[in-house]
Structure 1
Amino acid sequence: MKTKFIQAILLISVLAGCKSTSEDSQEPTMNTKSEIQVQGHRGERGNMPENSIPAFISALKKGVDVLELDVVISKDSQVVVSHEPWMLALYMTAPNGDSIPQDKEKEYNLYQMDYAEIKQFDGGSKGNVRFPQQQKLKTYKPLLSEVIDTVEATIKAEGLKPVKYNIEIKSVPEEYDVFQPQPEAFVDLVMRVIQEKQMEKRVNLQSFDPAILEAVHTNYPEIELAILVGENTYEENKNILSFKPEIYSPHYKLLDSTEVSIIRKDGLKIIPWTVNEPEAIQEVIALKVDGIITDYPERVFEALKNE
């Protein structure tokens, strides 16, 4: 009896081992709906002031997988979380509460301002007319280091799941040395923060500017990269870079099932931006992309739950 019991245990172990080996050897398959990353765009711009600490914490607590954010550089070489390298009149106000004239906004050049001055401007009290449900509250443009420190502290204190950071380096060739450093210097400043915070394995860098991505690929090859595109097909865009990035990140309207199939053949992850309306969210989910960048994470969660 004892011998038969031992034989049975051995047989179960062998079968379990065979199953594991078989599963491990399977070829990668198309992404499933349940595996789609939810990325909070500028935190969650639809609900909270964009690229602010409150927006990132709110998105974090909603359960996003990735925090998407943008970075620029101040006069004193600080990495500032901001979509524009100036004070956008749409939602920024001066330290004294005055509105910023739209025709004067580029005079508030962050690359010519020390961070101590930048922090005095209010990015949330005015609200954003393009996002009427966005909560109005006084806030400021934070440093990348502060965002990481605050998010990580919140995760630890509240037992939340870790998130990744999708960091867009805002770069335009005609703005080199005017609103931003040269690409290699820009990348070095961003990477200094990432390395200091030991976040190399939990970030990807993205940009529309090929020079930025080339600099990261050459000098920091361990970093996952995404190329952002707003026009043309993948076949037209695939040779913009001298190498193949890990992620192809197009405007969502550029995608259909044929385009997705072509991109998949090259082995790239597909993460479209910025998908906000329920119908568009459903369409993108049906394409089985790898992630969805959205101003409204709760809408994507709701759509995924209903699948």
Structure 2
Amino acid sequence: MLELTPNTLTAMLLVLAMLVIASLSQWLLSSRLSADAHQELRQRINSWWIMVLVVFTALMIGRTASLIFFTILSFIALREFFSILPVRLTDRRLILALYLMIPVHYYWIATDWYGMFTIFIPVYLFLMIPFGLLLLGETKGFIRAVASYQWAVMTTVFAISHVAYLLMLPAENNPAGGGVGLVLYLVFLTQFNDVAQYIWGKTFGNRKIVPGISPNKTWEGFLGGIATTTLLGALLAPWLTPLLWWQGLFAGLLIGVAGFVGDLTVSAVKRDLRIKDTGRLIPGHGGILDRIDSLMYTAPLFFHFLRYTAY
């Protein structure tokens, strides 16, 4: 079982308290919102309850359960990515092989083999994908297929797996929060950054950043969200991580900017494919990729910032 410190337990209780407040708020606002708006808000909050309880349960049960949870998450995310890509029929055997590589990659995390973890996908799997496609003998769409499959595995498996590897970092280096505190810090700030940028944008946003990709993204939302996330990062850093408050400023800034880029990147993918959401798995939120788009960018950057700063 992963050791839960008083700080991490308090953080979990605060998140649950925020969800209780959100649930009460949507009930009180039911008479002021349209039926469709109220239903969407209720679906979003109910989905957050399910997602938070699943993550908290995995973290509380233990490291093995957490690794299994992230393995399944990567599998679902990769499957969703392939479901929206124009996949060639001849590539199905290679795609099956890529699914089988997911538990292999997470095995390196389970055994704390950092060297293999860092090169297995970016080096070995990147070389295997074009070779596997060559063996299938189909050259039409070859470059597009190679690039699409490589990027899909990088984002949904390699990038997300950095969240799981936070649990393997030495707990003695972070007596305040342990591995669980690091995960809570990263995930909470990443999701809070999305919410903060949305609120700042809706309240003060006028100047659009890239209207051709995401019409709702404004400079006011971007800067306001990053400022809020940076300050919160400094506040939470000594509480959940081994970082000092001023290092937390850099961590918060990193998460704020990277989260924005991740969100915008997946928006560009959806624009290219002419779809609104990447899936319908999470009511009110779309698909898994819609929910972890920011985390795909914040996780590896925060992990390496933390590892070379405090470990």
Please give the TM-score of this superposition, normalised by the length of structure 2.
0.26
Find the structure with the greater CA-based Rg. 1
Between Structure 1 and Structure 2, which shows a larger proportion of helix residues? 2
TM-score normalised by the chain length of structure 1: 0.26
